[in-house]
Amino acid sequence: MSSLNTQVHHLQFFEPIQLQSGAQFGPYALAVETYGTLNADGSNAVLVCHALNASHHVAGVDEKGQLGWWDNLIGSGKCVDTNDYFVIGINNLGSCFGSTGPMSIDPNTGKPYGSNFPVLTVEDWVNTQERVANHFKIEKFAAVIGGSLGGMQALTWAILYPDRIEHCVVIASAANLSAQNIAFNQIARSAIMSDPDFHEGNFYAHGVIPNRGLRVARMVGHVTYLSDDDMAQKFGRTLRRTKNEAQDYRYSFDTEFEVESYLRYQGDKFSEYFDANTYLLITRVLDYFDPAKAHNGNLHQALSKVLAKFLVISFTTDWRFAPTRSREIVKALLDNQKEVSYAEIDAPHGHDAFLLDDSRYHELIKAYFGKIKRGKV
């Protein structure tokens, strides 16, 4: 087996891009990682779209020693085999891992964009990704794949650029957020915006970060990514105690339960590497996503022009993006007589399942990409 052949790119786009909001934005830069080798006719490219807090670093180990966020699925000899496919990971515009975002310096002011960074949509992201495809001279992706918010981007690719995507793989996603989902995002944003260190988004100038707000935002989000059963299994009601300590309550508000300790750890870790403005921005991108909106709420119509073949996957214990939401996408595709397969994986891990090892899930992806490859030979 050959190596990943990882290439890191920092692509500059000088021409401003038209945004859905009506604003224009640019110039901007996107951080990109690629794996594998693009074949002569450019037919083996796979675009991987990331969700809320991930990046262009999809597979392998980077210079900081960090493993790619979808390394269990993508790599040499893996389900999406980089010996067969040229895989592209893009850090989305507005994110905080090397692409232009709220932390970047606005050339007009010489200061970080902060709250002046434009509010984006999934469509805007896909339009920026299309420019990356052009950069690599990829006319048509063999597949665009993503989970959660990444799945929304894959779906949008099929809608906006029907003839530039052969297969669309939408995992643990939905055609829009439910009121409950928007509500969770609002709680997260409120936590950040009410942190005294937020300074209306311009905290960089004050040399502080609203990490208390970010921590709470992450805690809320994280709970919604897990299933009740999964949390019961992982933590139960176990108290945080050393081996020889008594199991009595301490009657205090310090960390008593294991689950509290876990959440605090997740919150702390997250607040150290994630930008608060990016969190606001990306949760808003999620809220706004609704391809049926332009068709009076009719998803059937919104998908009428797609040409891609679809693989839609959901997980039974995912309550943030429940199987019923995936079935809406499947139904709209079926009503249009589009090519679609749908699998409902009985996995215990809630929404997070799309990032985890599950043999049924992974075998399915492997079989699907194996078939795409055989179809090309």
Partner 1 sequence: MTMQIRADFAAIADWIVPHSSLLDVGCGDGQFLEFIQTEKQVKTYGVEIVDQSVLACVARGLNVIQQDLEGGLALFEDKSFDMVILSQTLQTIHQTEKILHEIARVGKECVVSFPNFAHWSHRIDVLMGRMPISKSLPYQWYDTPNVRVLTISDFELLANQIGLTILDRVVLDGGKRVNWCSNLLGSLAIYRVCSSK
Catalytic sites, residue numbers = 148, 318, 351
Q: Give the chain's count of helices (H) and strands (E).
A: 10, 14
Q: Which of 39, 136, 344, 356 binds partner 1 (CB under 8 A)?
A: 344
Rounded to an integer, what distance in angstroms lies between the CA atom of residue 27 and that of residue 196?
32
* Candidate list 342, 349, 350, 352; residue touching partner 1; CB under 8 A: 342
Residues 340, 349, 352, 355: which binds partner 1 (CB under 8 A)?
340
Q: Is 165 left (phi over 0), alpha (psi -120 to 50) or beta?
A: beta
Q: Considering beta carbons, is residue 222 or 331 the nearer one to partner 1?
A: 331
Check residue 346 for interaction with partner 1 (CB under 8 A).
yes
Radius of gyration of the chain (CA): 21
Under rule CB under 8 A, residue 363 binds partner 1? yes
Q: Of 354, 218, 219, whose CA–CA distance to 278 is shortest?
A: 218
Residue from 76, 335, 348, 356 binding partner 1 (CB under 8 A) = 335
State the nearest-atom distance from the C-beta of 78 to partner 1, in Å. 17
Q: Which CB sits closer to partner 1, 203 or 342?
A: 342
Query: What is the CA 59 to chain-centroid distance, rounded?
Result: 14
Q: Does 297 bind partner 1 (CB under 8 A)?
A: no
Rounded distance, CA 177 to CA 200, Å?
26
Q: Is 334 in the site for partner 1 (CB under 8 A)?
A: yes
Minimum distance from CB of 327 to partner 1 (Å)?
A: 6
Residue 370 contacts partner 1 per CB under 8 A: yes
CB of 165 to partner 1, least distance (A): 17
What backbone phi and psi angles, to 5 degrees, belong to 340? -155, 140
- Asked if 81 and 59 touch (Cβ cutoff 8 Å), the reply is no
With the C-alpha atoms ordered 368, 370, 371, 373, is the resulting torsion angle positive or negative? positive
Q: Rounded to the nearest whole angstrom, what is the least distance from the CB of residue 318 to partner 1 in the complex?
A: 15
Q: Which helix (H) or strand (E) holds 170?
A: strand 167-171
Applying CB under 8 A, does 337 fall inside the site for partner 1? yes
Q: Is 305 in the site for partner 1 (CB under 8 A)?
A: no
* Binding-residue total with partner 1 (CB under 8 A): 24
Which pair of tokens denotes residue 59? 């597979």
Q: What angle do CA 370, 299, 226 make, to 5 degrees?
A: 65
Q: For residue 174, state whether it binds partner 1 (rule: CB under 8 A).
A: no
Tokens of 24: 């224009």
Six token digits for residue 138:
């990829």
To the nearest whole angstrom, how small is the minimum distance from the Cβ of residue 345 to partner 1? 8
Q: Quote the crossing angle between the two packed helices 122-135 and 149-160, to the nearest 10°.
A: 70
Q: Which stretch binds partner 1 (CB under 8 A): 4-12, 146-154, 172-180, 338-346?
A: 338-346
Site map for partner 1, 107-146, x if CB under 8 A? Answer: ----------------------------------------
- Asked if 58 and 227 touch (Cβ cutoff 8 Å), the reply is no
CA separation (Å) from 287 to 68, 119, 134, 223?
Answer: 26, 11, 28, 18
Binding to partner 1 by residue 222, rule CB under 8 A?
no
Is 5 strand, coil or helix? coil
Using the rule CB under 8 A, is 371 a contact of partner 1? yes
Among 48, 311, 353, 355, which residue interacts with partner 1 (rule: CB under 8 A)? 311
Footprint of partner 1 (CB under 8 A): 311, 327, 330-331, 334-335, 337, 339-346, 360, 363-364, 367-368, 370-371, 374-375
